[in-house]
Structure 1
Amino acid sequence: MTSSTLMASGLSVGDVAAAPALPDVLAPRKQRSRIGMFMYRHPTIFVGGLLVALIVAIALLAPLLFTTDPTALAPARRTRAPSAQYWFGTDMLGRDVYSRVLYGSRISLIVGFSVALLASVVGLTIGLLAGFIRILDTVVMRVMDGLQSIPGILLAIALMALTRASVENVIVAIAVTQVPPVSRLVRSVVLSLREQPYVEAAVAAGTRTPIIILKHILPNTLAPVTVQATFICASAMITEATLSFIGAGTPPIIPSWGNIMAEGRALWQVKPYIVFFPAIFLSITVLAVNLLGDGLRDALDPRLAKRI
């Protein structure tokens, strides 16, 4: 209230008491923490990404985390229970289970990430071509249907039986089983995009097919493929552990989680820790990747996106 208004109303400045300013319920938008806002909007992405980052850090920093040679044999200290000296105990050959579990995270992450990348690239290419070029659709999709009709684990075992045991062959064998789902997903997206007006306008304008696919179709398929890649990564880790557990995966000398559990199954009833610790790490890693995938699906799908 101005002084002229006070004089007109017959009041003086001293007769008016100013009310204290009300506190802001919410801090100004610029002052809010970006990390806090991200955690609020996408909690599953934050939790899953944090766990995945932790597992990756463990794999990269394994030599610095008080580990020993995971392949060093010491028969004199075999089947030692977990203690201050051997945090996860030792196996039947005297090898430190803690060191083997930490180094084993490298194998699972390499297989998971490599399979997700390889299957996504190959499946994306097949889906784009089959969905946009009608001539290839029938032939290519029938091949994908044939591959998908075979259980993935059986197909991976058959492919591994034709080759020698190695990490590279495990990646290729698992990736072959994951290509059909990706290609079918991309094909379904391309079929819907092909009928959009902007694509029809590009065709009518005489734009070449590769340009249409790369410029108009491909960008709209990256979001679902990215989400699918996270689930492929988690599935590949489980498949790799299964193959190694039954002796059809990585060589036994490599400290993978599947190999560690396979070596400890004979002593499960008396020394369960040999199987327990790699199983816990595998479960946490798969859970983290699945949480990350669920969060990405919610964030990238406009129908499920969470808004404040």
Structure 2
Amino acid sequence: MDGGRPATIPPGINVAPEMGDIMPPVKAKKGFIGFLRRNPTIAIGGTLVLLMVCVAIFAPFLAHRDPTSLAPALRTREPSAQFWFGTDMLGRDVYSRVLHGARVSLTVGFSVAFFASLIGLTIGLISGFIRLADSIIMRFMDGMMSIPPILLAIALMALTRGSVGNVVLAITIAEIPRVSRLVRGVVLSLREQPYVDAAVASGTRTPMIILRHILPNTLAPLTVQATYICASAMITEAILSFIGAGTPPIIPSWGNIMAEGRALWQVKPYIVFFPAVFLSITVLAVNLLGDGLRDALDPRMAKRL
């Protein structure tokens, strides 16, 4: 260019025409729909979880009868148009009890995942960044991890009376060590990064370094771990209720329903079958959601062209 005018081409020189693009432009899938298309596992798992949440919320409207009402004249009825999932040995509608049982399982799962992640995150941040606290706190966490979670939950429930709140507390205490060790491992690798050294050299206080530089980088693995804790908590709650150490029998939960139907398993298997199917689908959905989040949040496993 010369003064805004195209440069003149000397005579005798041929200029090849511009070549078109060999590959057509790739249209990136943006937005929420594009994210779900790139991560079908999240879409499937999230849809199933959302469906179960809707079932739990609208259980009083979807249920045919009161899940605690007794009708001895209607006991052990087979599944039919009147009783979709049949009735148990006390004449209670299994369909209504399964729908209301979703409330207990999802409440326990989400509550344990939230409280265990919050407490474990705090412990992991402190022990991972402060070396003196690490030598004290993690030895205590190691001692708790030496006890299987289900046995620790049973021992804690033996000290209290059966209720949903006590079940949440017992399972949360059993899950905290695993979250704290995960966060601690992430923090140990992050505190050696140059930007953390720069923050320390500039005089930034330790709490601000943890909040600004360490905490945001721990949220992705913590979110994935929370989904697995949620699924594990629902299974643990069902086990506690199945052996009589969980929620009271008057509260319908999937574990209680299966516990009450195990005596008639060989002749009336539907009493155990339907709550077991709902529990399996919910746990599968939460695990699918966790696997999808792991693939989406881990840059090493991101799908690239």
Amino acid paired to 2:154: I
Aligned position for 1:177: 174
Following superposition, the deviation at residue 39 of structure 1 comes to 3.4
Equivalent of 1:214, from 211, 222, 235?
211
After superposition, the C-alpha distances for 1:99-118 in whole angstroms (9 at most, x for unaligned) are 00000000000000000000
**Aligned runs of 1:230-249 on 2, under 5 Å?**
230-249=227-246
Residue type matched to 1:82 in 2?
Answer: P
Write out per-residue CA displacement over residues 168-201 of structure 1, whole angstroms, 9 at most, x where no aligned residue: 0000100111111110010011011100011011
Counterpart of 1:52 (choices 45, 49, 54) is 49
Residue 202 of structure 1: aligned partner: 199
For the residue of structure 2 that corresponds to 1:303, the secondary structure is helix
Partner Cα separation in structure 2 for residue 143 and residue 133 of structure 1: 16
The answer as to whether partners of 1:82 and 1:89 remain within 8 angstroms in 2 is yes
Distance, in Å, in 2 between the alignment partners of 1:36 and 1:300 is 17
1:103 pairs with 2:100: yes
TM-score scaled by length of structure 2: 0.90
Is the CA contact 2:63–2:99 (under 8 Å) kept in the aligned structure 1?
no
In the other structure, the counterpart of 1:43 is 40
| Matching of residue 295 in structure 1 with residue 292 in structure 2 | yes
In structure 1, the gaps of 5 or more residues are: 1-24
Find the partner of 1:285 among 282, 286, 290. Answer: 282
Does the CA-based 8 Å contact 2:105-2:237 persist in structure 1? yes
Query: Does 2:268 align with 1:271?
Result: yes
Calculate the aligned-residue CA RMSD, in Å: 1.6
Aligned residues: 283
* Aligned AA (2:92): R
Partners of 1:41 and 1:307 within 8 A in 2: no
CA distance in 2, matches of 1:66, 1:27: 53
1:82 is paired with a residue of what secondary structure?
coil
Gaps of 5+ in 2: 1-22
Following TM superposition, where does structure 1 have runs of at least 4 consecutive aligned residues deviating by more than 6 angstroms? 25-28
Report the counterpart of residue 21 of structure 1 in structure 2: none
Is the CA contact (8 Å cut-off) linking 1:182 and 1:225 kept in structure 2?
yes
User: Is the 8 Å Cα contact of residues 116 and 175 (structure 2) preserved in structure 1?
Assistant: yes
User: Normalising to structure 1: TM-score of the pair?
Assistant: 0.89
